[in-house]
């Protein structure tokens, strides 16, 4: 069984967070270390450690993550100029909290997806 994370406590509102959206499937809140003017994390309310752990039963929550991202982007006025949705998976992907989370990042030009190496 997956271990509970800080995100579980945010979902239950046991620790403070700037929650911008919450329903029965997902929770969205402002990132505490924003990388752009808009930086919101969108998470499923059920603990799924990584993308590798996704099953068909998770599809409604994962789909809701995308529709909520679109809604928040529109509300924040960044939908027309564009934004980025990022889901990291495991160590090489840069995942730090092992509860799937999608970063909604925008509000400025974001540049290339990956640095040239």
Give the catalytic positions in this structure. 101
Contact 71/104 with Cβ under 8 angstroms?
Answer: no
Question: CA-to-CA distance for 93 and 88, rounded, in angstroms?
Answer: 5
Count of CA atoms in the C-beta half-sphere (13 A) of 46: 14
User: In DSSP terms, which residues pair with 86 in a beta bridge?
Assistant: 103
Contact 72/20 with Cβ under 8 angstroms?
Answer: yes
């Amino acid at each position: 069984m997956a271990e509970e994370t800080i995100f579980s406590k945010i979902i239950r509102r046991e620790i403070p967070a700037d929650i911008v959206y919450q329903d029965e499937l997902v929770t969205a809140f402002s990132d505490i270390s924003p990388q752009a003017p808009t930086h919101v994390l969108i998470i499923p309310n059920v603990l799924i450690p990584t993308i590798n752990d996704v099953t068909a039963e998770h599809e409604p929550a994962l789909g809701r993550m995308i529709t909520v991202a679109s809604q928040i982007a529109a509300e924040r006025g960044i939908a027309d100029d564009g934004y980025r949705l990022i889901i990291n998976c495991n160590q090489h992907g840069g995942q730090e909290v092992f509860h799937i989370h999608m970063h909604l990042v925008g509000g400025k030009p974001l540049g290339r997806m990956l640095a040239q190496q």
